[in-house]
């Protein structure tokens, strides 16, 4: 995998996980 694409994938998955966590917390609260 290219080193240039690794940070992009990391940010993409990071933002996706953060969005899921936010939705999960909102449903609990």
pLDDT on residue 6: 81
Nearest partner of 7 among 20, 22, 15, 17, judged by Cα = 15
Report d(CA 21, CA 29) in Å as an integer: 12
Question: pTM for this structure?
Answer: 0.54
Of the pLDDT bands very low, low, confident and very high (cuts 50, 70, 90), residue 4 is confident
Q: Looking at residue 5, what is its pLDDT?
A: 75
SS3 track for the chain: CCCCHHHHHHHHHHHHHHHHHHHHHHHHC
Q: Beta-carbon neighbour count of residue 29 at 10 Å?
A: 5
In this predicted structure, what is the pLDDT of residue 1? 57
pLDDT digits (tens, 9 = 90+) for 13-27: 999 999 999 999 999
């Amino acid at each position: 995998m290219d080193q240039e694409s690794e940070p992009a994938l990391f940010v993409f998955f990071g933002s996706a996980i953060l969005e899921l966590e936010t939705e999960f917390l909102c449903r609990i609260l």
